Amino acid sequence: MGIEGIGARVARKEDKRFITGAGRYVDDMVVPGMKHAAFVRSPHAHAQIKKIDVKKAQAMPGVIGVLTGKELKADGIGNLICGWMIHSKDGSPMKMGAWSPLAVDKVRYVGDAIVIVVAETKGQARDAAEAVEITYKELKAVVDATKALQKGAPQVHAEAEDNLIFDWEIGDAKATDAAIKAAAHVTRMKIVNNRLVPNAMEPRAALGHYDKAEDHFTCWTTSQNPHVARLVMSAFYNVAPENKLRVIAPDVGGGFGSKIYIYPEEIVCLWASKKTGVPVKWVADRTESFLTDAHGRDHVSTVEMAFDKNNRITGFKVDTIANLGAYMSLFSSCVPTYLYATLLSGQYNIPTIHANVRTVYTNTAPVDAYRGAGRPEATYLLERTMETAARELGVSPAELRRTNFITTFPHQTPVIMNYDAGDYGASLDAATKASDYAGFAKRKTAAAKQGKLRGIGMSCYIEACGIAPSAAVGSLGAGVGLWESAEVRVNAVGTIEVLTGSHSHGQGHETTFAQLVNQRFGVPIDSVSIVHGDTDKVQMGMGTYGSRSGAVGMSAIAKALDKVEAKAKKIAAHLLEADEGDIVIENGEVKVAGTDKSLPWFQVALAAYTAHNLPAGMEPGLKETAFYDPANFTFPAGCYICEVEIDPETGTTEIVQFVAADDFGNIINPMIVEGQVHGGIAQGIGQALLEGAHYDASGQLLTASYMDYTMPRAGDLPSFKVSTSNTPCPSNPLGIKGCGEAGAIGSPPAVINAITDAIGIVDIAMPASPSTVWAAIRAAK
């Protein structure tokens, strides 16, 4: 390991501009002649639009255009789509209702966009938006997915009878039922996974610019995957053909999944720019973020886990209702299916699994992937059930898990996944040791003397990152491939640009990707630039989500580096009059192994570009492209242990210890990995203790600001004890697994297991706020 190579704790290159306020986000972009947009949004959760009168608004000061959905439709702009086809168990395709970028006849959730107003200033656009007169006929709303499925519930879309989008299953129902029937013990639970608001620090934004002379569009947008945005906006929304549309995502201030999807606003800003003849910028305010960013989670499940007399799991049966909100967001259908039910085997040998999933429309914000996406929901079911089963069976939760661990690899689960590597016992050992799991009883007694309820909870999670291979996901219904691309451009003086299809929204790619290059060629990371986020600069790529940029994105870079290395060695061999096989690259020197013959790296690069003396027939230049399609998912895993103390008088939970022992495969930058784990755990603790989106029965979001939606703060969190014990991933060239989501996946059940242990109850709703905990303590008495 060099000081900047793989495994080095290099400070993040990009942080200098972020910390000094020099980052460049969409809202920092200024285009000559640019004007500002405001959207008129539905104040009702469910209503017919009877009339839209824009006359008064058009006459307001500074107004350039007031545009409606009717005009948008007349110009042929398409509906938003969900890009992953799921079929119900009866073979019928999912029932997708139409989602017009601007609502025409009906609004389906509070925040649904109806009209765009373009004006000279943001304030004028808002003033005029208030002057748009819309006549509604209010309809009854439904916000709860279980209620939405009942006969006679308000119908969100005519296309989906009883609001049922699909009724899907995976696994073997008959075998699982038989296992439950024959079981020595069955643990049964009803488990709710609470709805969350993503709350990226940077709100969503879009700047649409139509260039009349070139008949060309440019869209600056807050996107985790600008190429996918361009593809979808071209292929489905008819904004412009791909060659006439450039999508740029500059610095992106957090996303957690919410910036994967294409939203109405970017489409409408592009269209409005052509319509009004001016560049149009829209930046969400925080209320719009709460109301319209795709939310996460919102599952209700029942589970049955069967055990034999030796406490081995013999079957696992799951029935889930997933709330997808008012419209099907871009990847909403795959989250509660292939990103969820395929993880229901967890770290355990389970001979048979069956999961049934019904997805449902309601009059709430669309729900899509949010940090972990399906995997937190699966882990929550499994790990809550395992802990409960251990209590029912009277065995140690750690030992029940160990009894059931998968210990040989590769391991084929009954739900598609083929685990390639792991050592779950090692993580469990590390976590139990770091948390002094064995000494808990003493600490509980000491806490009781102080009038506190102390509890401990564990969670052994597995996740699947780097969804792949493309052929497999295509066969499961995905509308896209899930490979990644890279281009490595060595300049004539040896500095390097890496063009990657991944796109950072806070992950530190500019540092870690440069470390990979440094490892290969010894070039200082300051001489390596990472280029991303611009469809005009970078070849087609798939973007950043699902913890894929290390395992998939960096593997593509590694492949391109292989090609560059091979060519550089050929050139060096020629110049040094040596055999190609004897050339090695070390610390910025290209050497003939075992001799003192060498060339500095930059001279090989220069030779490639002067082309004065290249091997016969070789093309000049040193630049290579690679596309990498992984052979399999990668499977990070780990064990989290949470210890809490509860003040029974107020219901306040203090996390007194949190231990994370993860297996992430090979690690490029341990500091960045730890940062990802810390952030993930903070979000997981947020879900367990603090965060919850709450709609009232009429469909108004009651938690639409930080006055009512509790974000985790530093004071809510302990100092985490994190460690890794790594088994390299055999499925990609770098042995990387992915660490972006693990914390958010593994931590909620550990926290809730600890709280239920402290109180001595089976279950408690998330977020386990002080009032919820207080009520649970009172009910348990």
Cβ closest to another protein, residue 208 vs residue 651: 651
Cβ closest to another protein, residue 133 vs residue 619: 133
What residue has token string 């409960």?
388
Q: What DSSP string describes 442-456?
A: HHHHHHHHTT-EEEE
Q: Classify residue 104 by its DSSP letter.
A: S
Residue 689 C-beta: closest distance to another protein, Å: 8
Q: Six-digit token pair at 296? A: 């996460």
Cβ closest to another protein, residue 146 vs residue 710: 710
Three-state DSSP at 758 gives helix
Cβ closest to another protein, residue 247 vs residue 752: 752
Cβ closest to another protein, residue 176 vs residue 653: 653
User: Can you give the three-state secondary structure of 343-381, one letter per residue?
Assistant: HCCCCECCCCEEEEEEEEECCCCCECCCCCCCHHHHHHH
Helix (H) or strand (E) holding 508: none
Half-sphere exposure of 339 (CA within 13 A, CB side): 28
Q: What DSSP string describes 608-622?
A: HHH-SS--TTPPS--
Residue 695 C-beta: closest distance to another protein, Å: 10
Residue 266 C-beta: closest distance to another protein, Å: 24
Residue 767 C-beta: closest distance to another protein, Å: 8
Residue 764 C-beta: closest distance to another protein, Å: 15
Cβ closest to another protein, residue 287 vs residue 403: 287
Three-state DSSP at 144 gives coil
Q: Is 364 exposed, middle or buried (0-12, 13-18, 19+ CB in 10 A)?
A: buried
> Between the CA of residue 243 and those of 44, 218, 227, 491, what are the distances in Å?
39, 11, 12, 27
Pairing relationship of beta strands 280-283 and 35-41 according to DSSP bridges: parallel
Q: Is 492 exposed, middle or buried (0-12, 13-18, 19+ CB in 10 A)?
A: middle
Cβ closest to another protein, residue 76 vs residue 123: 123
Residue 282 C-beta: closest distance to another protein, Å: 17
> Between the CA of residue 394 and those of 167, 270, 400, 458, what are the distances in Å?
37, 62, 10, 16
Residue 664 C-beta: closest distance to another protein, Å: 32
Cβ closest to another protein, residue 472 vs residue 761: 761
What residue has token string 């029935």?
319
Give the integer Cα–Cα distance in Å for 177 and 316. Answer: 9
Give the integer Cα–Cα distance in Å for 19 and 17. Answer: 6
Q: Six-digit token pair at 653? A: 């939970």
Task: Please tell me whether the peptide bond between 410 and the residue prior to it is cis, using omega within 30 degrees of 0.
Answer: yes
Q: Six-digit token pair at 396? A: 């140690």
Residue 533 C-beta: closest distance to another protein, Å: 31
CA-wise closest residue to 14 among 761, 709, 675: 675
CA-wise closest residue to 40 among 164, 132, 123, 120: 132
Residue 80 C-beta: closest distance to another protein, Å: 28
Residue 774 C-beta: closest distance to another protein, Å: 6
Give the integer Cα–Cα distance in Å for 711 and 474. Answer: 37
Residue 178 C-beta: closest distance to another protein, Å: 44
Cβ closest to another protein, residue 18 vs residue 706: 706
Residue 693 C-beta: closest distance to another protein, Å: 11
Q: Which residues bind another protein (CB under 8 A)?
A: 123, 126-127, 130, 287, 649-651, 690, 694, 702-703, 706-711, 769-771, 774-775
Cβ closest to another protein, residue 10 vs residue 755: 755
Pairing relationship of beta strands 496-500 and 484-490 according to DSSP bridges: antiparallel
Residue 127 C-beta: closest distance to another protein, Å: 8
Q: Six-digit token pair at 251? A: 């610095």
Q: Where are the alpha helices (DSSP H) in 665-709?
A: 670-685
CA-wise closest residue to 482 among 497, 469, 495: 469
Q: Where are the alpha helices (DSSP H) in 485-527?
A: 509-521
Residue 769 C-beta: closest distance to another protein, Å: 6
Residue 709 C-beta: closest distance to another protein, Å: 6
Helix (H) or strand (E) holding 740: none
Residue 102 C-beta: closest distance to another protein, Å: 22
Cβ closest to another protein, residue 129 vs residue 473: 129
Cβ closest to another protein, residue 54 vs residue 768: 768
Give the integer Cα–Cα distance in Å for 681 and 683. Answer: 5
Residue 768 C-beta: closest distance to another protein, Å: 11
Q: Six-digit token pair at 663? A: 């297996």
Cβ closest to another protein, residue 365 vs residue 768: 768
Q: In degrees rounded to 5, what are phi and psi of residue 611? A: 60, 25
Pairing relationship of beta strands 353-361 and 164-171 according to DSSP bridges: antiparallel
452, 647 Cβ separation under 8 angstroms = yes
Residue 660 C-beta: closest distance to another protein, Å: 24
Pairing relationship of beta strands 528-531 and 496-500 according to DSSP bridges: parallel
419, 413 Cβ separation under 8 angstroms = yes
Q: Which residues pair with 217 in a beta bridge?
A: 210, 245
Q: What DSSP string describes 585-609?
A: EETTEEEETTSS-EEEHHHHHHHHH
Three-state DSSP at 258 gives coil
Cβ closest to another protein, residue 261 vs residue 709: 709
Give the integer Cα–Cα distance in Å for 422 and 729. Answer: 8
